[in-house]
Structure 1
Amino acid sequence: MMVVRPIQANDYKALRELARKTGPGFTSLQDNDEQVAAKLEAALIPFTATPPPEEALYLFVMEDTDTHEVVGICGIESAVGLTDPWYNYRVGTLVHASRELKVYNQISTLTITNDHTGYSELCTLFLTPEARHSKQGSLLSKSRFMFMAEFPQRFNEHLIAEMRGYSDDKGVSPFWEGLGRHFFSLDFAEADKISSMGKVFIAELMPKNTIYTNLLSKEAQGSIGKTHEATTPARRLLENEGMRYTGYVDIFDGGPTLEARVNDIRAIQESRYVKVHITDTPAKGEAEGELYLISTTELCQFRCCMSMLTRAGNNLINITPDVASALNIIEGTTVRIVRLSSGRRF
């Protein structure tokens, strides 16, 4: 069984191995010893510090309870842009018109902004290719909503998620080639490594004036707001939960930024508390087959897994001993549940 839990100090080796597999464009977890060590150190702080840092990184890993292998990672930044500016491009439109010349042109533009300063961010979602089945990607991604529902005071009311931008099968980003390269004279892969230290240096060297996208190559124009093939399922999942692309893109690879109010996220809205009854024999006559997210309510001992549930009574559910073991809970424990996907209610 897969369970999502907070990262621990002894997860360095597993985190380092995941970093070897992420590939070009995955800025938040790169194949770099120093970056991985720094990320792990930062992620341990908010689970123990009182009060937590204003800009806290909550990092979680997905572990196979049978083999104890870590196969995935996901995170939440409590707030972005409070220490270093948070930059992105806002996609807009300018009209150039002349009645006398009978000319009317709508031109797409990119304007650098800090509009998402202070927002919480979903980040660092990666699942090993071998584990991308049986809805395990949904568990990994949506477990963060269960954590946010449980500890809303730790997050902003607004949430964003930067999707990895499009690059071709050789790892080349048309957006970078059409725009960023002119100011940096670096290949995309090299710039990608440097950007792991933060995107402030990119914004400092990029033009501050509005950019007319019709001056970029056709390939660069076509990549604006386009998601990397490996990230498309993650984007679809978040959109199904209520997040939307509203015209902001990454200044580095042109990938779309999704956003929503936290309380408008489906999994957060619909989640509720129940108590558990641990049994090997679910109640007869109850519908089976629909998966639920089940999470615990303690900060440092937070756990989230998915399982089919049956009702044992009013606000009481049946779970198997395997689920109880994965969550480290006992008979009568209060947990939070929500349907894994939108549909009928439990």
Structure 2
Amino acid sequence: MFVVRPIQQKDYAELFKIAVESGHGFTSLPVNEELIANKINNAEASFKEDVGDGPCDHSYLFVMEDTDTGQIMGTTGIESSVGLKDAFYHYHLSKVVHNSRELNVYNTAEVLTLCNDYTAASELCTLFLREPYREGINGRVLSKCRFLFLAQNRTRFSDTVIAEMRGVSNDNGESPFWQWLEDNFFSLDFPTADYLTGIGQKVFIAELMPKYPVYVNLLSQAAQDVIGKVHENTAPALNLLKSEGFSWKGYVDIFDAGPTVEANLSQLRSVQGSNLYTVEVVEQLTGEDNVLMSNLEVELFRATAATAQLDKTLLTIQITQEIADVLKVSAGEQLRAVKLI
């Protein structure tokens, strides 16, 4: 079996390996020992803190662990409110009209405008499943377990939830979109700019980024072609989020032009569809569907997916003792569950 749980200090070495394995463009987990240590410290503090009546600037980082071997299979995270400490930049893709009645000329053009529109939104981030475990339901569970945490702890998060999707780049970390910006404004290669952003050094963006809307048709054709497109390895993650209700509203990453998708927390399929069920421990299960389930804790949060029997009328769930032990629940207690799709 596997379990998704809050990250701990003992996971440092494995998280560093994941940062190396994730490669270029994985901004939220740069290869930096101090930053990774700080991420773990911040996550532990976030899980422990009582937020009161509203979201704060907290980072929740989870790992998926193989319960048989103890191996860390991947990581996933949620930022409660982005942009409160450091500016959170995007380009917004929109249209302008150039019209002359006298000359009978009417033209539209797409423009990219630098903005901070998603400030204070909650962000799904740092999703990475290691190569040996990319099979079966593992990827879906690693992504969707966050929705159960969101559903159970709504006061910790914004009504708007976003996810920045990795844009197009090659194996050397070269981005066609950034190449145009580099040639004209930055004189920094994409991996360097991406790394600086990942470690929180964002001042250069405000200093060097073009201050006025950029006409898309002035970009190189290679740069135009990747606006709003995702890296081939990111396509499954994007499709999964779309199935949950996320959509693209024209916002793209300022470095690789990958799309940022958004949704209302209460409208997410797994949030709407999840419910609280009373645990019944049985020796043998008769259900055939995989159920995504979690306990109701924060600091001791546990989530997994397994065959289980849901009774939506009586609001009971039948699980084995093994599953109960993994989730740290007992018969008669409640857990949150939804059918895994």
Q: What TM-score range do you get, normalising by the shorter chain?
A: over 0.9
Aligned to 1:211: 214
Q: Taking structure 1 as reference, are residues 95 and 325 closer, same or farther at Cα in structure 2, changes over 3 Å only?
A: same
From 264, 267, 277, give the equivalent of 2:270.
267
Is the Cα contact below 8 Å between 1:276 and 1:333 reproduced in 2? yes
Aligned length: 337
**2:6 alignment counterpart:** 6
Residue identity in the other structure for 1:255: G
Contact in 2 for aligned 1:163/1:256 (Cα 8 Å): yes
Cα distance between partner residues in 1 of 2:256 and 2:206: 13
1:275-290 matches, within 5 Å, as: 275-283=278-286, 288-290=287-289
| Alignment partners' CA distance in 2, 1:105 and 1:128 | 48
Name which of structure 1's ranges 153-162 and 99-108 shifts more when overlaid on structure 2.
Answer: 99-108
2:188 to 163, 167, 186: 186
SS of the equivalent of 1:89 reads strand
Which one is further off, 162-171 or 63-72?
A: 162-171
1:68 aligned onto 2:84: no
* Equivalent in the alignment of 1:299: 298
Render the CA deviation track for 1:164-211: whole Å, top value 9, x for unaligned.
Answer: 111124321001001244222122122222221234432331011010
Secondary structure (helix, strand or coil) at the match of 1:54 reads coil
Q: Which residue of 2 aligns with 1:125?
A: 127
1:65-84 CA-to-partner distances (Å, cap 9, x unmatched) read 00011111111111011122
Give the TM-score of the pair, scaled to structure 1. Answer: 0.93
Match of 2:323, SS state, is helix
Q: 1:200 to 1:77 in 2, by over 3 A?
A: farther
Alpha carbons 2:25, 2:166 under 8 Å: kept: yes
Q: Which residue of 2 aligns with 1:344?
A: none
Say whether 1:315 aligns with 2:315: yes
| CA separation of 1:311 and 1:119: change in aligned 2, threshold 3 A | closer
| 1:30 is the counterpart of 2:30 | yes
Q: What's 1:221 paired with?
A: 224
Cα deviations by residue, 1:220-255 (Å, 9 ceiling, x for unpaired): 001111111111111110010001000001111111
Rounded Cα–Cα distance in structure 2 between residues aligned with 1:322 and 1:146: 20
Work out the CA distance in 2 between the residues paired with 1:50 and 1:243.
29
Q: CA RMSD in A?
A: 1.6
* Partners of 2:8 and 2:66 in 1: CA distance: 15
Flag structure 2 segments of 5+ consecutive residues without an equivalent.
none
Q: For residue 35 of structure 2, what is the amino acid of its counterpart?
A: Q
Contact 1:84 1:200 in 2 (8 A): no
**CA, structure 1 residues 139+118, in 2 after alignment: closer, same or farther (shift >3 Å)?**
same
Taking only the aligned residue pairs, the percentage that are identical comes to 47
Partners of 1:20 and 1:36 lie apart in 2 by 11
Give the whole-Å Cα distance in 1 for the aligned partners of 2:277 and 2:57: 32
For structure 1, the 5+ residue unaligned runs are 342-346
2-structure distance, mates of 1:80, 1:236:
23
SS class of match (2:99):
strand
Tell me if the contact between 2:282 and 2:321 (Cα under 8 Å) persists in the aligned partners. yes
